[in-house]
Structure 1
């Protein structure tokens, strides 16, 4: 058991470090002027990995680790690499790492509305899942099983805050929207709320929770408002979401994850 424990511990630490470098490299690629807090030395910054040549190997190892230690997060981890199903269109909310690796963009009237920089959110999510393991790996291998759902969501919202702070408002808002949708789905599942749609959106989940008297009217209206903010981040409109609006969305999602259980 000790040898197994040490092997997992070293793998988690190595993959968390490489994942952080990949996420930072993508952020710098999207905006070379970006400044963010990170644990890397100047030498490490000069030798950040090439994401397109290094990511696939990292993903394969990280996925194997997730499937063994926290299998309940495997589907989430996979979904940041490739979409779960057919997409009607490409948006910040459904842009994945596989899209990034193929440099896929969506344009409208000659204007790029979503492109490789949108994958920052997906990479941050995957990195966050792995670094979350590193932060919680303590005295026993089985402690991994005790990771709290709320803690993981809070970690993901922290990653969204970092994106928002560094100027990636749409990506940060899309990430917060994914957290909100996932939490509402988990609450529906926990209370055995029946859903009419196979792939319900935030509004569908919100309405179902209100109909089942799990969410009160005030919570329902608040989630509606958060959904509107999320949609502003996800859909190209005349006005881009502001940093303040995205911060409001993130904080609102955090509140819902702690009060609607």
Structure 2
């Protein structure tokens, strides 16, 4: 089985490849004639040029999935650059005037090129989004260097491998109708992950906390939102049914939901 490090590297390579194609697509959309002229200098024939352009992804359709997947990877591997990555996409909330230095990819996708505020009718070209996307691509590329750096902390990746193994064991227990044991194992994984998230965010927590304590601390410190809090609350309730309630037996469906929910949590909440 491939390790989480191998999975991250594979996902990164796919995103980098698509990101480069999206950058070409954006250039083609903005500077069509210039772009075609430039690629002709490195292509052997007009047929190659035509095929290259035909194979370019549709930026409007492919950018959002690329952005969402890149966001998850950066959140996990380069969290200190997450804010910058988002900034290049989202329109500033208090922006009063559309300018080249505050133009975003969201503006590009919406085709924003003119100012309407304060009777100002100046225009900003769609090409203003090119540097923003180039910066996003550079942030993603910088993850690659972290894999090669001896300073890269792989603790979380190793821990993720361990959690995946534990959940695989829980699935096997459930398969053999040991629902209570499977739920208990999945609950331990959830508890350890939430505790690690609090540590990573430098949030103090009382000694020997339960899942509910960890969940409350994460919500109080705005690490998770209300839907995520409710989701974890339900997982904790199923875990308690497996570990503490000796009267009611957890159903296989409930334990299956717990295992799937824990798997989702350890991959989306950091």
TM-score, reference length from structure 2: 0.47
Which of the pair is proportionally richer in helix?
A: 2
Greater Rg over alpha carbons, structure: 2
TM-score, reference length from structure 1: 0.48
